[in-house]
Amino acid sequence: MAHLPFGIFRPMLIKDLLKAGVHFKLYLADYFAWINNKLGGDLEKIKKCGEYFIEVWKAAGLDMKKAEFVWASDLASSREYWKKVMLVAKNTTVQRANRALTIMGRKLGEMKEVAQYFYPAMQVADIFELGADICQLGLDQRRANILARELGPKLKWWKPVIVSHHMLMGLEGLKEPEGFETSRKMDIAISSKMSKSKPKTCIFVHDSKEEIRKKIFAAFCPPKEVENNPILDYTKHIIFRAFKEMKIDRPAKYGGPVEYTSYATLEDDFRSGRLHPADLKSVVVELLDELTKPIREHFEKNRKAREMLEFVKKAEITR
């Protein structure tokens, strides 16, 4: 099911790019999910899940007339596409491909199928088959994007611009990576990100207000600790992107009501202890509920959307 990074953060980023005049192509990577054995490697289920994803973005307020949707299975239907895949593969060393395989969220030792080695070459070929001047993906996809920048000029194509967005942390906070060998900062970000396939560390856009409250109050958020704090992470990258201010109501004996118009000021107060985790968590629950409520209501009231959600809920989750 769609979580905060996918159903709330991603539409925010797309809206910013659309506002800037970018023609945005939303790529539904059904073939990649198939290679990565998502939903048990059942391509039909994966396609239905892709349709559900579109419905989530629609419910999140994305202008469906301004965004173009492209399916990987459609893009891969041409001979020219597979020629590009071959050219990329022929100009990529095995060692370089191994490093890029972390874009699948897997360690090298977890690779069991030859098809998984197609993944980096296909992702690079996608960029040029789509005609993308800008690649706007998460930091976890950066290795494949950098490979595209290296190979583009060499293959007489172009050098795409890479705009890597921040990856929201899972509720448990920092998670040390196991088995990753390069770029430690990136590997920590990848291993600590909020993942749909790890429900206990994740907030879904369909979670009720009480479910959000339960998860937020159980989340890692020690007093005065700013680094690797998921609640501050959501505050910075979601709350202050969506709202101009944060108002925190609290009794006079705990400092009284306070209003923040910038994340920097809020962070300073948290670091000093002037803002307690419980007070921060309370307002984060309210604002996340406000952001996710329209999506929940859309899937509750729209019969077709509700059927999509029920299908996804019943689908087997595989990593």
**SS3 at position 193:** strand
Question: Measured between alpha carbons, how far apart are the two ends of the chain, in Å?
Answer: 13
Classify residue 319: in a domain, yes or no: no
Does one domain contain both 27 and 151? yes
Structural domain ending residue among the three candidates 132, 166, 191: 191
Q: How many folded domains does the chain comprise?
A: 2
pLDDT digits (tens, 9 = 90+) for 244-256: 999 999 888 888 8
Which of 133, 165, 232, 161 lies closest to 12 in space, CA to CA? 165
- Round to whole Å and give the CA distance between 215 and 43: 32
Q: Are 26 and 33 in contact (CB under 8 A)?
A: no
- Round to whole Å and give the CA distance between 148 and 155: 10
pLDDT digits (tens, 9 = 90+) for 39-88: 888 899 999 999 999 999 999 999 888 889 999 999 999 999 999 999 99
Q: What is the CATH number of the domain that holds 237?
A: 1.10.240.10
Q: Are 187 and 102 in contact (CB under 8 A)?
A: yes
Q: Are 63 and 100 in contact (CB under 8 A)?
A: no
Does one domain contain both 15 and 92? yes
175 token code pair = 């998670």
pLDDT digits (tens, 9 = 90+) for 23-36: 999 999 999 889 88
Classify residue 205: in a domain, yes or no: yes
Does one domain contain both 235 and 308? yes
Does one domain contain both 185 and 95? yes
In the block, tokens 């593969």 appear at: 89
Classify residue 233: in a domain, yes or no: yes
158 token code pair = 């172009």
Q: Which residues span the domain enclosing 304?
A: 196-314
Share of the chain above pLDDT 90, in %: 66
- Round to whole Å and give the CA distance between 147 and 100: 8
Does one domain contain both 183 and 81? yes
Q: What is the CATH number of the domain that holds 32?
A: 3.40.50.620
Structural domain ending residue among the three candidates 169, 191, 213: 191
Does one domain contain both 259 and 114? no
Contacts of 282 (CB under 8 A, 6+ apart): 248
Does one domain contain both 21 and 164? yes
Q: Are 241 and 305 in contact (CB under 8 A)?
A: no
Does one domain contain both 75 and 205? no
Classify residue 288: in a domain, yes or no: yes
Does one domain contain both 91 and 202? no
Of the pLDDT bands very low, low, confident and very high (cuts 50, 70, 90), residue 184 is low
Can you give the pLDDT at residue 251? Answer: 85
